[in-house]
Structure 1
Amino acid sequence: MAHAQSTIAGPTAYVGGSPVSLTLPVTASVGGRCGFATGGAPSGAFDAGQIDQAGWSNQFPFVLNCNGAARVAVVSTNGGLRSAVQPGETGYVGIAPYTVSLNLVGAGGANASAQCSVATLVATASSPCTFLGPATQSRGLRIAPSSQNLAGAYLQVSAPAYPGPGVLVQGSYSDTLTVTVSAAL
């Protein structure tokens, strides 16, 4: 014959009758996430016309989507508007300088801006621009606090009519600017 035994659990007794407290810390972190907003990357093309005859300017707007501080940086392919044919004769040039301005918009009215000669936006520049890219956590123009889908940021290119020195050779001139973004430290 078998017998079943039942045990009913009752309150646990502690020495001294007081309960024991336990502290269990719970922590988490969120890494930096930063990029261009959907449809908000800088893009487009601009034809400055006859750069030896008149000044020119154009803005390329963009929108950042960052959950904290960000850095934006720029790289120029040619370091200026470069002619496909480089002259060999003294007194003639095949590259024209221009200015690149960067304006960033952050939450709460925070703004950051800087301007450089395009010649300082190439990797081999002896005195590189403060926002020479590519962007990293510590490289590029910094905006803080976050810039979550805020309009107003732009890259601007401009120059007066080419003043010299030298004479620009006839032809088409071009350059390409690459803009990158990174979460910042």
Structure 2
Amino acid sequence: MLMHKIRIGLTAIAATCPSAVLAQSTIAGPTAYAGGTPVSLTLPVTASVGGRCGFAIGGAPSGSFDAGQIDQSGWSNQFPFTLNCNGAARVAVTSANGGLRSGTQPSEPGYTGIAPYLVTLNLVGTGGGSVTDQCEAATLSITAGTPCSFIGPATQSQGLRVAPSSQNLAGAYLQISAPAYAGPSVLVQGTYSDTLTVTVSAAL
């Protein structure tokens, strides 16, 4: 019986958009003119606040998971995290190997050193709303021919979007899972691993 032991590492990067505040103000009041009636002048006061988004303190996704013998049984694990964003946010994921990869890649036909698995991303927004999407790890590789919808790195227009905001709300998670590997190629003996990188950005 072949032994297949894997370890998945997870890293996190917070991409923040600095907050910018612009303001104009003036004094509005009556102005008296000699020989005439007072004239009231009114000028608007405007301001803006830029998007600020990152992982909450102590809330970034982290950790590792040992799935055991992936050709013998299915496996699953969740990595929770918390966002701290004052507006809409996007979260994205990148897989270093596009699957669970063995340190030895076979050249013989009928054998493989890559095992597929699923990545599920769930985000929680203000008001109780949540968004979820799922992709094969192979589509989260930067070399993927058909990339996942939430492939990283996150930008204002790339990644899974949650709105209107997500400030220190529990419930967001990254889940990895797979049934027992069933082929078609035979997995070679060895240790399999992958590393996922999670990024966050303020969204448009």
Match of 2:48 among 29, 37, 55: 29
Match of 1:107 in 2: 126
Could you say what secondary structure the match of 1:176 adopts?
A: strand
Match of 1:164 in 2: 183
CA distance in structure 1 between the aligned counterparts of 2:96 and 2:40, rounded to whole angstroms: 64
Task: Out of 134-143 and 122-131, give the one that drifted further.
Answer: 122-131
Tell whether 2:165 aligns with 1:146: yes
Match of 2:16 in 1: none
- Corresponding letter in the other structure for 2:200: V
Give the aligned CA root-mean-square deviation in angstroms. Answer: 1.1
Contact 1:110/1:145 (CA < 8 Å) preserved in 2? no
Could you say what secondary structure the match of 1:26 adopts?
A: coil
CA distance in structure 2 between the aligned counterparts of 1:22 and 1:66, rounded to whole angstroms: 39
Could you say what secondary structure the match of 2:63 adopts?
A: coil
Match of 1:134 in 2: 153
Contact 1:75/1:177 (CA < 8 Å) preserved in 2? yes
Q: What whole-Å deviation, never above 9, does each CA across 1:58-81 have from its counterpart, x for those lacking one?
A: 000000000000000000000000
Match of 1:177 in 2: 196
Match of 2:135 in 1: 116
Deviation at 1:18, TM superposition (A): 1.6
**Any gaps of 5 or more consecutive residues in structure 2?**
1-30
Could you say what secondary structure the match of 1:120 adopts?
A: helix
TM-score, normalised to structure 1's length?
Answer: 0.92
Residues 159, 21 of structure 1: CA spacing in aligned structure 2 closer, same or farther, 3 A cutoff? same
Residues 91, 13 of structure 1: CA spacing in aligned structure 2 closer, same or farther, 3 A cutoff? closer
Aligned residues: 174
- Runs of 4+ displaced beyond 3 Å: none
Deviation at 1:14, TM superposition (A): 2.3
CA distance in structure 2 between the aligned counterparts of 1:45 and 1:38, rounded to whole angstroms: 20
- Corresponding letter in the other structure for 1:130: S
Could you say what secondary structure the match of 2:90 adopts?
A: strand
Could you say what secondary structure the match of 1:113 adopts?
A: strand
Deviation at 1:17, TM superposition (A): 3.3
Could you say what secondary structure the match of 2:67 adopts?
A: coil
Residues 120, 18 of structure 1: CA spacing in aligned structure 2 closer, same or farther, 3 A cutoff? same
TM-score, normalised to structure 2's length?
Answer: 0.83
